[in-house]
Amino acid sequence: MDAGLLEIFVCPASKAALTHRRDRDELWCRASRLAYPVRDGIPFLLEEEARPLTPEELEALARP
């Protein structure tokens, strides 16, 4: 995913910044605790497409 695009994308639920997880091909939001899928390089930023982050994933987001 292009870093420039990631700077302008925000979580549709919380309007907070997103973190690209290349290993999962998802965009994660700490504020809303949601993960949005990226399919074929296209982010699907719809709450209906998102899944809740697990406690372990939230902990990983908290680490620098």
Q: What's this model's pTM, rounded to 2 decimal places?
A: 0.89
Average the pLDDT over 14-19 and give the result: 94
- Using alpha carbons, list the distances in angstroms from residue 50 to 4, 38, 40, 55, 56: 22, 10, 16, 16, 17
Q: Is residue 44 predicted with pLDDT exceeding 70? A: yes
Q: Is residue 26 predicted with pLDDT exceeding 80? A: yes
Q: Is residue 19 predicted with pLDDT exceeding 80? A: yes
Q: Is residue 39 predicted with pLDDT exceeding 90? A: yes
| CA gyration radius, the chain | 11
Q: Is residue 2 predicted with pLDDT exceeding 80? A: no
Average the pLDDT over 46-62 and give the result: 94
